[in-house]
Amino acid sequence: MYTKKIYFSGGNVAELQEIFNDVPGVVSVLVGTAAAKNVHSYVNHEPQTLENIPAVEIEFNPKKMDLSMLMDVLFNVLNPYAENNLGVYYASGEDEPQVELHLNFIANRGKEPVVSKACLTINDPNSNPRFARKCYAKVGRLTSFIVAPESEQNLLRKNPEIHTDIDLTKLKTSLRF
């Protein structure tokens, strides 16, 4: 079976692992630490290198689950307009255009279109940046991922008494693809 991998950071990685474990088309989810280069956000466009990012590695079957749907799940759980440590890291160059396109859409969602003097509506994402929400989500190319020890994998399944900020039961019933 052909699979692909994508890496997400943000919030509590144990919660992210639990959320993505039950998404259809996801083969496996591992907790670990990542490093990435050419990382930028839509607030700060200066590329940087990040290391020791708590992240999850999501291996998925692209015939059953689309990368943009996985990012939709991430952005429904974590707020890209408030989370400073939220990130999407790709290992394959073929994923870069789709990740960038999706994050560009997220960054420009909610911006007012411009109306010209000729009464034409123009979708100009840079028309009035002071009215726009700022997207803090980071994107970059993964350079390494170190899987956490087995004791840190599936932490919420092993310890159901751990409090989470996300109502996982409610979330799983609403995530029907």
Domains and CATH numbers, the chain: 4-174 (3.30.1060.10)
Give the tens place of pLDDT for each residue, 99-150: 999 988 888 776 555 555 555 555 555 555 566 678 889 999 999 999 999 9
Looking at residues 23-37, what average pLDDT do you find? 95
Burial of 39 (0-12, 13-18, 19+ CB in 10 A): buried
